[in-house]
Amino acid sequence: MQLITKEELADLIFENKESMYRLAYTIVENDADAQDAVGDAIVKAFGNIQRLRKKTSAKSWLMQILVNSAHDIVRKRSKWKIVEKQLDDTAVTEAFESDEMLPIVMELKEEFREIIILYYYEEFSVGEISRMLKIPTGTVKSRLARGRDKLSTIL
């Protein structure tokens, strides 16, 4: 029995498309890979819609699929030893126009950047982030604190 219909999932994706792109971008650090991660996550979500256990956790579930898809892309990139990063400054500026802090957040290491984005921009709780990234809550809290410290030194 499905808890969420395909139409409801499509609506959820539409409502969160900018958040999904922003989160993917913080992990993969370029426009093309971020778009690929979002696309992969959408395909996986529709393919695994029956695995969603609670309708109320649909956004968390979708974002976890996205995080995993983005990490898969980073792993594939590492396997092929692609060292050069191609950042499309124009796309970044357009995607994050309203977020003045985001360019500064982007300077953080991935482990801090990812948690800062999920906590402050996507408003996930420490517990949700812990489950999503499959790391202990203490690790989430310490990375959040260290990320804030690093941001304060940059500012």
Give tens-digit pLDDT for 23-53: 999 999 888 899 999 999 999 999 999 888 7
In CATH terms, 99-155 corresponds, of 2.40.30.10, 1.10.10.10, 2.60.40.10, 3.40.50.11540, to: 1.10.10.10
Architecture of the domain whose range is 1-97: Orthogonal Bundle (1.10)
What's the pTM?
A: 0.58
Domain boundaries, the chain: 1-97, 99-155
Give residue-wise pLDDT tens across range 96-147: 344 667 778 888 899 999 998 888 888 888 999 999 999 999 999 999 889 8
40, 13 in Cβ contact below 8 A? no
